[in-house]
Amino acid sequence: MPPRTPALGGTLIPSAAWAVIVLACSAPALAQERSPSAVPPPRTYVHLFAFGDLGDSLRLNNPFRLSNQLGDTGESLSRTPVYSSLGGGAALGDPNGWQHGLAVQWSRQLAGLPQNVITPSYVLLLNAWRPWIPYARAGLPIILNPDANVGAEAAVGASYMLLAGIGAHAELVGSMFYGAATWEIGRTTIPMLSLQIGITADYEVLP
C-alpha cells in the first residue's frame, strides 16, 4: 500500500490554533515592555474665560460735588457715567470644584470726561454647579486718566452658561478710592457700589 499523505486541513488547523495560543500568552509581556514615553502624560487642567460688560456705579460719598447727584446736597449719593469693560483670565484647580486664578479687565467711561481703568484681580470660582458658575474676586483698579490713582475692590458674581462655551453673567462690585483734599477735609475717601452685566466666553482644557 502507498503511504498516506496527511490532509492539508488537518495540518493547518492545529498549527493555526497553536499560533493563537502563543500570541495570547505573549501579549501581556509585550504590553509590559512598551516604553513609558509612548503613553502621553495627562495635561494640566486650565479654565480660560473672557468677558464683556456694561456697568453703572453709585458714589456713596461725593466730596467734589460731582454731577448726577441723587440727594439734596452735593455730598449726597450720586451716579457715575455708564462704563464698558473687556477682560479675561485663567484658573487652575479641580475641574469639578474650587479653582483659583487671575484676571485682568479694562474699563472705559462712555460719557463725560474720558476715563480708563485697568484692574488686575485674583479670582476664586466654583465649577461644581454648571450651568451656574459662582465666583468672587479681589482687585486693584488702576485709574490711568484723567488723574492717576489706585483703589481697591471686591466683587461677587455668577455666570449662567447658555451654551457649552457662551454664557451671561452679573457682578456686584464694591470699591474704594482716595481723592484729593477739599476745603472741609484733608484726605477724601470715595466708596462706590457698581453693578455690571455682560456675556462670558468659557473654555476648559481638560486633563
Return the residue matching grid coordinates 451654551: 163
In a domain, 148, yes or no: yes
Range of the domain at 155: 46-205
Cα–Cα distance for residue pair 193/144, rounded to 1 Å: 20
CATH of the domain at 137: 2.40.160.20
What pLDDT tens digit does each residue of the chain (207 aa) get?
555 444 544 555 555 555 556 555 555 544 455 555 566 677 899 999 999 999 998 887 765 555 554 455 555 677 888 999 999 999 999 999 999 999 999 999 898 778 899 999 999 999 999 999 999 999 999 999 888 889 999 999 999 999 989 999 999 999 988 765 555 555 677 788 999 999 999 999 988
- Does the CA dihedral 87-148-65-187 come out positive or negative? positive
Task: Enter the DSSP assignment of 77.
Answer: -
In a domain, 41, yes or no: no
Domain tally for the chain?
Answer: 1
Which is nearest to 171 in space by CA: 81, 57, 60? 57
